[in-house]
Copies of this chain bind each other. A is one copy, B any other.
């Protein structure tokens, strides 16, 4: 019988990553689209968009040859895991796997080994594609995952397989060469699962966040559209002329959506393997990188790099900062070092794919003085249009916009996960009353900007006072002599808890613990940003603040070694 209508080609046309993948090869087949630099050998590998597309087609055929099965709405396809850095091969996997109907599981290589093993077995990964540089890691976990993982694919710039105990090991480039460079991409349903990303599990086992094609498509599209909305010269457009250096690892929540955004845009993507300051500077100079996205700690590394001045970084005009609040002090330091550099901040989490909030200058602010605008730009921000973000009290009521009252950030929208993979208990902990509960504490100012204050579990309770540590940390790093600052609560007989500050000073600083507290008094207490009750009672000057695998302050680690820090801390009276 002849078909009467085509909902799947009209109003139910599926929102698929396939649409993003196909575009560059159609629009700019002969332009260099993907550049990979091996961070060890320093060698460059360049691909036109058509070459990249053909390799991705080969990979899709290869997945079929390996027996990888597609899923359907509600049922995950086979899981294909990656243990890989930011290479062109990893980028190929980012499209070939989901667009052929399977589920991509990018493993966070910086998780504890036990957690890596846990996620592989929990995800039931069928195949793992891994980099040559991570061979040792795979060998180390092999015995505990070999019952789950049926096949291993070795990715390297050099031909040949290593001598190893790993069975069923294949060579990526050899397999690819055997396949056709055409592939009939399936017209999937948009509710097909595309990716499975595990949380870093700082408070327990990692949880698996599942994303559909629709969720990732809609996040990408809203982010690009939002870039057009805004009237803030420091807020970069997402346009095809960008040269984007992808620093954020592809194993961190889709590298903040970068493969999808820049793929769809057909903007040139520069892949550095892993971040090194030298590699960063060379690639910016060589490829004329215009945009990048980093965590604040990477900015701190750049500021400290002594040979920074020897590179021409003038093409770099825009840096997106995420994975932690951007301290204003750090921002100022980077702007001084890299002319033309500008940055805004944002907020999100694994469960939200990740971006949900971005800071930008509202149109009635545009004539404010630069200092005031900079303060706006480092606020956590406003919801991306298309997603709902509120800060609510314990009864689920929005807190007043008074720049003071704290509440929990709750979110809902098309790119928030519906549930964790095989974990209904954890799902029920976050999803109730029609909102996803982030566990993050924030306040809202008079202009409707959300300002993150803390993780709920990190808030210090001192007497009847709540001391929001992230708020304090951000204030602390506004001091031009402070590079990093982490605040944790330590037990106190009278108050229950009292705040301890760990601070890392800039090189060759002769500032003291008292100078630090004096700064907080003048810039914080006197200006009404904090109360005097919030001032740290202990300050320890340290060489390094411990960080998690994604570059955030590792407060669990700090608490574990709290004795050492208390030993060197100065008591403030």
Taking beta carbons and an 8 Å cutoff, which residues of A are in contact with B? 2-7, 9-13, 15, 19, 23, 26-28, 31, 191, 211-212, 214-215, 218, 221-222, 224-225, 227-231, 237-241, 264-265, 362-364, 382, 385-386, 412-419, 424, 427-428, 431-432, 434-436, 448
Contacts and interface: CB of A to CB of B under 8 A. Distances in A.
Contacts of A10: 215, 412-414, 416-418, 431, 436
What is the count of identical protomers in the complex?
A: 2
5 contacts: A5-B419, A11-B417, A12-B191, A12-B418, A241-B363
Nearest to A436: B10
Contact of A239 (B229, B265, B427): B229
A6 B434 contact: yes
Contacts of A222: 221
A30 to B, nearest CB: 9
Contacts of A364: 28, 31
A385 B7 contact: no
A53 to B, nearest CB: 15
A11 B214 contact: yes
Contact of A428 (B4, B215, B412): B4
B412 A448 contact: no
A224 B231 contact: no
Contacts of A11: 191, 211-212, 214-215, 414-418
Given A231-B241, A417-B11, A362 B27 contact: yes
Contacts of A215: 10-11
A228 B231 contact: no
A5 B418 contact: yes
A237 B11 CA distance: 26
A237 B237 contact: yes
Nearest to A217: B386
Contacts of A417: 10-11
Contact of A237 (B211, B228, B382, B434): B228
Contacts of A419: 4-5
Nearest to A13: B414
A6 B264 contact: no
A264 B385 CA distance: 8
Contacts of A363: 28, 31, 240-241
Contacts of A231: 239-241
Contact of A228 (B2, B3, B211, B224): B224
Contacts of A12: 191, 414, 418
Contact of A435 (B2, B9, B238): B9
Contacts of A19: 385-386
Closest 10 pairs (CB-CB, A-B):
A228-B228, A9-B412, A13-B414, A224-B225, A10-B418, A225-B225, A231-B241, A10-B416, A11-B418, A5-B419
Contacts of A414: 10-13, 15
B225 A230 contact: no
Nearest to A231: B241
Contact of A412 (B13, B264, B432, B435): B13
A145 B345 CA distance: 57
A552 to B, nearest CB: 25
B23 A385 contact: yes
A498 B28 CA distance: 41
Name which of A214, A364, A386 has the most chain B CB atoms within 10 A of its CB: A386
A257 to B, nearest CB: 13
A51 to B, nearest CB: 17
Contact of A230 (B218, B230, B240): B240
A265 B9 CA distance: 28
Nearest to A414: B13
A434 B6 CA distance: 6
A63 to B, nearest CB: 24
A368 to B, nearest CB: 16
A6 B418 contact: yes
Given A4-B419, A228-B237, 12 more contacts: A2-B432, A5-B418, A5-B419, A10-B431, A11-B414, A11-B415, A11-B417, A13-B412, A23-B385, A229-B240, A229-B265, A237-B237
A50 to B, nearest CB: 13
B9 A416 contact: yes
A382 B31 CA distance: 18
A419 B5 CA distance: 7
Given A362-B27, A385-B264, A418 B228 contact: no
A415 B15 CA distance: 12
Nearest to A412: B9
A401 to B, nearest CB: 11
Contacts of A238: 228-229
A190 B448 CA distance: 28
A239 B432 CA distance: 35
Contacts of A224: 225, 228-229
A195 to B, nearest CB: 12
Nearest to A416: B10
Contact of A6 (B9, B228, B229, B431): B431
A214 B432 CA distance: 26
A134 to B, nearest CB: 32
A412 B434 CA distance: 35
